[in-house]
Amino acid sequence: MAAVIIDGKAVSESIREKLKVRVSALGEKGIVPCLAVILVGDDPASLSYVTAKERALSLAGMESRDYRLPKDTTEAALLSLIDELNNHERVHGILVQLPLPKHIDQQKIICAVVPTKDVDGFHPVSVGSMVLGRSGFLPCTPMGVITLLREYRIAVSGSHTVIVGRSNIVGKPLANLLIRQDANATVTICHTSTKDLSHHTLEADILIAAAGKPSLIRPEMVKEGAAVIDVGVNRVGDPSAKNGYRLCGDVDPAVSQKAGYITPVPGGVGPMTIAMLLQNVVEAAENRYNG
Ligand code: GUN
């Protein structure tokens, strides 16, 4: 039987609608939640992500301050901008789009953002707080995945959840969030050195693909009825497409004939990442107001 398609776009829209109420409550106090968005260089995928984030902020009645910096921007110049934004009264959140050009030390930049404005949840203090279950910003894509599972009432507690990918942005934080006592999954993390990937994926009640490899997960690797969450956003060349490429996930579309639930690409996890980012920005603004 064909899988239930998890509609991330619809879930994200309903979250964004609810956020408008919090944004207007802040507005009554004279506060407009504001995110500084920094993009270094001209990577087309990164540019399209930051444009989508800025558009969503504006639609939700929030402000974005856009910093488009040339690809030869020095690490010192970027650190100086972050320092200025850390101290800026009206800026509640700071997002530095990753990846950064190779001459800039990414970890150094992530560490420079003050944790109270770290709406990406990438700072070591945010990561530590997440692991310990203390308050702090949670990373957007992992929270988007968890919110989708919750919205579709997919049983996470007691499930065997297999994550393919161990990135700092998705795989590692997602595993941590899923083993917390409010989620209670049993988690396996697979990566490029995992032997016999199918052996693990076939065991998954919930399979999360976050490896950045087009169509890595094929139908024969998935247990009948499993919930399959595709975090991959890959651009593959397609001469018949308007811009010469199409977006493709880490999961072969034929998996939908075997899975119980599946997220589409686009329209699955992607819009949820943005909704979670907006939520973190609103929270950052509320935190500032409430001291
Ligand atoms: N690059 C890919 N995903 C993300 C994200 O969630 N935040 C930032 N800052 N950069 C990214």
Q: Residues 70-110: pLDDT tens digits?
A: 999 999 999 999 999 999 999 999 999 999 999 999 999 99
Output the pLDDT for position 1.
76
Mean pLDDT of 208-217: 98
Output the pLDDT for position 24.
98
Which residue is listed with tokens 């968890």?
A: 146
Q: Which of 120, 205, 250, 252 is catalytic?
A: 120
Q: Considering the entire predicted model, what is its pTM?
A: 0.97
Looking at residue 69, its amino acid is L
DSSP state of 169: T
* Atom 1 of ligand 1, residue of closest alpha carbon: 98
The verdict on the CB of residue 140 being under 6 Å from ligand 1 is yes
d(C-alpha 270, C-alpha 264), whole Å: 9
Closest CA to 49 of 273, 236, 257: 273
Q: What is the pLDDT of residues 109-146, one digit of tens each?
A: 999 999 999 999 999 999 999 999 999 999 999 999 99
d(C-alpha 213, C-alpha 217), whole Å: 9
d(C-alpha 284, C-alpha 95), whole Å: 12
Output the pLDDT for position 115.
98
Is residue 290 predicted with pLDDT exceeding 90?
no
Confirm whether 120 is a catalytic residue. Answer: yes
High-pLDDT (> 70) share of the chain, %: 100
Output the pLDDT for position 224.
98
Mean pLDDT of 243-254: 96
How far, in Å, is the centroid of ligand 1 from the Cα of 131?
20
Tokens of 10: 């619809």
d(C-alpha 285, C-alpha 123), whole Å: 18
Q: How confident is the model at residue 289 (pLDDT cuts 50, 70, 90)?
A: confident
The verdict on the CB of residue 120 being under 6 Å from ligand 1 is yes
High-pLDDT (> 90) share of the chain, %: 99
Confirm whether 182 is a catalytic residue. Answer: no
* Atom 8 of ligand 1, residue of closest alpha carbon: 97
Chain mean pLDDT for the chain = 97
How far, in Å, is the centroid of ligand 1 from the Cα of 235?
16
How far, in Å, is the centroid of ligand 1 from the Cα of 1?
35
Confirm whether 250 is a catalytic residue. Answer: no
Q: What is the pLDDT of residues 15-74, one digit of tens each?
A: 999 999 999 999 999 999 999 999 999 999 999 999 999 999 999 999 999 999 999 999
95 CA closest ligand 1 atom index: 9
Closest CA to 157 of 186, 177, 131: 186
